[in-house]
């Protein structure tokens, strides 16, 4: 009896695909149906899924790493089922290397959408896999560009580009000042204007059991410094200084090559101009 497993991945950078098609649960269900049709037995120990992880991420993909660890040891996995090659990854070279590593471990990879094996065993298979990987990587880059272009548009319109910012509530794409958190921000600027250092301010906030941006009662000097450097609190909305990209199979933050979007946003001001200047000395 052939022992089968499956790997599913859903990414947030695939907005062009229906949610149902991206669903890890859906992919796993379809993989099990495919295994049953072929007479293979699915071993639940070899069912892996990474939800909300980019296909360009290889270092910090927990279930993919668990799969690779499983096949490095003595295992009984004969076949790994995926919906399509892009589920394994959207980085040309690393995806091909992953296919080769699984094949070298005695694991065959099958796509249930194409009803065929994904392999590098012959020249034709290698060329076909390369082209699929290149297409996946190209689509990932295009999707990333579309998302960033949308974020720029929102920033130019003065709307939230996503993500929570301490001191504000976001509803329907618009930020409004959150009073209790705004009070903490003004306290930080006031203490800094009085000469207190980042470390001392952090310890004072912990002493008084003030919730941090992460929701805990632990404050770091870095968090204090980030608040003191954020122009939004002075009523200026800034977007596009940095961007997330992939280097060596994982996410990194780098300086953006694009023009920065800056807008006056008086409704978002939490600290006065005088306190902003004094708190940054």
- Name the band, by pLDDT with cuts 50, 70 and 90, for residue 123: very low
152, part of any domain: no
Residue where a domain stops, chosen among 86, 117, 142: 142
More confident residue, 253 or 213: 213
Same domain, 181 and 97: no
- Name the band, by pLDDT with cuts 50, 70 and 90, for residue 255: confident
For residues 65 and 40, is the Cβ–Cβ distance under 8 A?
no
For 57-80, give the DSSP string. Answer: --TT-HHHHHHHHHHHSS----EE
Same domain, 232 and 107: no
Reported as a single tens digit per residue, the pLDDT across 31-50 is 999 999 999 999 999 999 99
Number of folded domains that form the chain = 2
Whole-angstrom distance, CA of residue 213 vs CA of residue 219: 9
- Name the band, by pLDDT with cuts 50, 70 and 90, for residue 245: low
- Name the band, by pLDDT with cuts 50, 70 and 90, for residue 239: confident
Whole-angstrom distance, CA of residue 209 vs CA of residue 17: 44
Whole-angstrom distance, CA of residue 230 vs CA of residue 195: 19
Residue where a domain stops, chosen among 90, 113, 142: 142
Same domain, 10 and 133: yes
Same domain, 127 and 252: no
More confident residue, 67 or 262: 67
Same domain, 87 and 138: yes
Is a pLDDT exceeding 70 seen at residue 213? yes
Mean predicted confidence (pLDDT) in 102-128 = 81
Return the CATH number at 16: 3.40.50.1390
150, part of any domain: no
Q: Which domain holds residue 49?
A: 3-142
pTM of the model: 0.53
Same domain, 89 and 212: no
153, part of any domain: no
229, part of any domain: yes
Return the CATH number at 195: 3.90.1750.20
Reported as a single tens digit per residue, the pLDDT across 67-85 is 999 999 889 999 999 999 9
Is a pLDDT exceeding 50 seen at residue 173? yes
Whole-angstrom distance, CA of residue 72 vs CA of residue 236: 52
Same domain, 88 and 7: yes
Residue 240 gets the label, from left (phi > 0), alpha (psi -120 to 50) or beta, of: left
For residues 103 and 119, is the Cβ–Cβ distance under 8 A?
yes
Average pLDDT score, the chain = 85
233, part of any domain: yes
Residue 280: predicted pLDDT: 80
């Amino acid at each position: 009896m052939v022992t089968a497993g499956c790997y599913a991945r859903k990414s947030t950078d695939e907005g062009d695909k229906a949610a149902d098609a991206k669903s890890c649960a859906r992919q796993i269900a379809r993989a099990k149906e495919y295994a049953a049709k072929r007479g293979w037995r699915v071993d639940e120990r070899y069912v892996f899924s990474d939800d909300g992880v980019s296909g360009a991420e290889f270092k910090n993909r927990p279930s993919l790493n668990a799969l690779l660890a499983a096949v490095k040891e003595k295992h009984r996995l004969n076949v790994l089922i995926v919906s399509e090659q892009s589920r394994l990854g959207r980085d040309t070279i690393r995806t091909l290397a992953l296919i080769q590593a699984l094949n070298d471990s005695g694991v065959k990879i099958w796509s249930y959408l194409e009803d065929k094996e994904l392999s590098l065993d012959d020249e034709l298979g290698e060329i076909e896999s390369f082209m699929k990987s290149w297409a996946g990587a190209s689509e990932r880059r295009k999707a990333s560009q579309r998302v960033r272009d949308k974020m720029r548009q929102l920033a130019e319109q003065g709307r939230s580009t996503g993500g929570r910012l301490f001191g504000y509530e976001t509803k329907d794409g618009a930020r409004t000042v959150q009073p209790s958190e705004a009070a903490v921000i003004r306290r930080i600027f006031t203490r800094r204007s009085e000469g207190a250092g980042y470390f001392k301010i952090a310890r004072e906030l912990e002493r008084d059991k003030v919730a941090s941006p992460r929701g805990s009662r632990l404050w770091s000097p870095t968090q204090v410094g980030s608040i003191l450097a954020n122009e939004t609190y002075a009523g200026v909305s800034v977007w596009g200084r940095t961007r997330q990209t992939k280097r060596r199979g994982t996410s990194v933050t780098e300086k953006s090559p694009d023009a920065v979007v800056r807008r006056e946003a008086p409704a978002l001001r939490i600290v006065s101009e005088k306190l902003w200047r004094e708190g940054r000395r």
